[in-house]
């Protein structure tokens, strides 16, 4: 049994595919807050420099997903689920690519069970 730190809903994967068809390779980054906020942001890979303090959580829809080091510590024992919601009111209010398409990526999380944490520790050795 493989434990994944990161997964995505089918709805999020559909939006990712739509964006990839329009923009090409994408990358996700979830900042630690303040000016950048804490929502996952989707960028064209060629236009985004991943901060050196960020950690790769995994990939969704063939796109790398990075998270701030402090955020990773907070979510260390949780699985992050990338989801999407319709967000017509936010048009032009973010640098994330999906906003102008009427969507906003969000993350949900769930805490791993003790068994999943053991398996994850074995996987990451």
What was the pLDDT predicted at 93?
A: 61
> Which tens digits make up the pLDDT trace of 59-78?
999 999 999 998 899 899 99
3-class secondary-structure state, position 111: strand
Domain-wise residue ranges, the chain: 4-112
111: which residues sit within 8 A by CB, 6+ positions away? 77, 78
Tell me how far apart the alpha carbons of residues 14 and 110 are, in angstroms, rounded to a whole number: 22
> Which tens digits make up the pLDDT trace of 79-104?
999 999 987 766 556 788 998 889 99
Fold of 4-112: Hypothetical Protein Aq_1857; Chain: A; (2.60.300)
- Tell me, what DSSP letter sits at residue 24? -
pTM for this entry: 0.89
Tell me how far apart the alpha carbons of residues 32 and 102 are, in angstroms, rounded to a whole number: 24
- Comparing C-alpha atoms, which of 92, 96, 89, 77 is closest to residue 12? 96
């Amino acid at each position: 049994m493989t434990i994944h730190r990161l997964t995505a809903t089918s709805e999020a994967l559909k939006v990712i595919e739509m964006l990839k068809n329009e923009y090409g390779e994408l990358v996700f980054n979830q900042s630690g807050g303040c000016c950048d906020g804490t929502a996952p942001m989707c960028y064209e890979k060629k236009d985004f420099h991943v901060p050196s303090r960020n950690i790769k959580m995994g990939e969704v829809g063939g796109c790398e997903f990075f998270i701030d080091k402090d955020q990773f510590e907070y979510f260390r024992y949780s699985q992050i689920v990338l989801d999407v919601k319709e967000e017509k009111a936010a048009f032009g209010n973010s640098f994330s690519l999906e906003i102008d398409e009427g969507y906003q990526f969000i993350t949900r999380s769930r805490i791993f069970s003790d068994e999943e944490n053991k398996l994850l520790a074995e996987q990451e050795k």
